[in-house]
Amino acid sequence: MATINWRKRLAAGAIALAAGFALPATAQGTPAPTQTPQQDAAREQLQRQQDQPFNNAPVWRDVRSGGPQTTQVRGVETNVLVQSEGETWRQIRNGPITVYGGLLMLAVPLLILGFFLWKGPMKVHGALTGRKILRLTPWDRYIHWTTAISWCVLAISGLILLFGKYVLMPIIGGTLFSWLAQLAKILHNFIGPVFLLAAILMFVQYVGRNIPRGHDFGWLAKGGGLLTGKHVPSGFFNAGEKIVFWVGLTFFSIVVGASGLVLLFPNFDQGREIMQISNIVHATAGVLYMAMMMGHIYLGSVGMEGAWEAMRYDGMVDEAWAKEHHEYWYNEVKSGRQGSAAPMAGVAASRREPGETT
């Protein structure tokens, strides 16, 4: 009986010993669970921190790649911590746009000043008749001044935001410039929609009188008589004014308006790249728009005798002025023909008193 028990115990021990040797072999033959790329990257980063505790280059390389990171914030590009393209935008905005745009903003006024000193204001050849023609209705003048004033506010505030850091801050200091830049930003943001609405109304009001005509090409070929001083006939608006209307009021207003709205409302789910492109487009178009309108402002104020008074006061112009600058329109008014080029066809028989100016 004792012999049988001893044999059973010996067999059980042999089985247990065999199982002990077989278990590690089986474990070594079982493949390890597969690791995800994120787990591999985390393990490598942990190992790198142990081997090179002060080397954070791989972390920042991953962040600057623009790839998605882990975040609980929901929105467009909220999981992108650093966008490297922003440096390209900064270099363009503070480089070519600021440099060449600034030179353009200096060159155009100097050219206009030189032309004024050379030629002086354009005056009517001959004496004024004293008989007035209604050229601009009250609504014409109202919508024009609403557009013009809002445009000037945007132009001045835009110049402060674009060039103030380089021109004004060294003169007035950082504290005052900070206050001025903040005010410019507020005005720019709130006056922008006002200008867009006024520009749309002005387009609707003036588009019929800015349709190109055959005689506009002759006016352009002769430069409107700006250099020669000779009389060149035109319609209600000459070809130069029509270029301002279609290129300035229409094209540039659309470009600066669309790009400005993208910048003004970032919650429309546009990403940083779109806003950076919009900023470049907005600044470039704005500078070109201002350069173009400087010539228009000059001719509408001191560059052409009688133009300012007609837009500023009662919308009336002398018959001699009308014939001198807009002869085709003047002939239509005198003949009583109605049309897009002659919104008002009446002749006011009011004569000027001696010594009265237009």
pLDDT value of position 341? 37
pLDDT value of position 345? 38
- Which residues have CB under 8 Å from 26's CB, separation 6+? none
pLDDT value of position 70? 56
pLDDT value of position 353? 37
- Paired with 132 in beta bridges are 318, 348
Over its length of 358 residues, how does the chain's per-residue pLDDT go in tens digits? 445 555 555 555 555 555 554 444 444 445 555 567 666 766 776 776 666 665 666 655 655 555 555 555 565 666 666 667 778 888 999 999 999 999 999 999 999 999 999 988 888 888 888 899 999 999 999 999 999 999 999 999 999 999 999 999 999 999 999 999 999 999 999 999 999 999 999 999 999 999 999 999 999 998 888 888 788 899 999 999 999 999 999 999 999 999 999 999 887 778 888 889 999 999 999 999 999 999 999 999 998 888 888 898 889 999 999 998 999 999 999 887 644 333 443 444 333 333 343 3
pLDDT value of position 139? 95
What's the rounded Cα separation, in Å, for the pair 205 and 350?
Answer: 27
Burial (0-12, 13-18, 19+ Cβ within 10 Å), 282: buried
User: Pick from 168, 194, 167: which is nearest to 180 by CA?
Assistant: 168
Buried b vs exposed e over 198-227: b needs ≥16 C-beta within 10 Å?
A: bbebbbebbeebbeebebbeebeeeebbbe
* 132: phi then psi, degrees, rounded to nearest 5: -105, 145
pLDDT value of position 64? 57
| Token pair belonging to 336 | 């009583």
Count other C-beta atoms under 10 Å from residue 118's C-beta. Answer: 8
pLDDT value of position 62? 59
Measure the CA angle with vertex 260, ends 259 and 262; round to 5°.
Answer: 65
pLDDT value of position 348? 43
Q: CA separation (Å) from 79 to 63, 73, 88, 176, 241?
A: 10, 8, 20, 37, 50
Helices of type H across the chain: 2-29, 37-51, 57-64, 85-92, 98-119, 138-167, 169-172, 174-206, 214-221, 239-243, 253-264, 272-300, 307-312, 319-325, 327-335
pLDDT value of position 262? 93
Which secondary-structure segment (H or E) carries 316? strand 316-318
Please report the domains of the chain, with CATH numbers, ordered by start residue.
38-82 (no CATH), 85-348 (1.20.950.20)
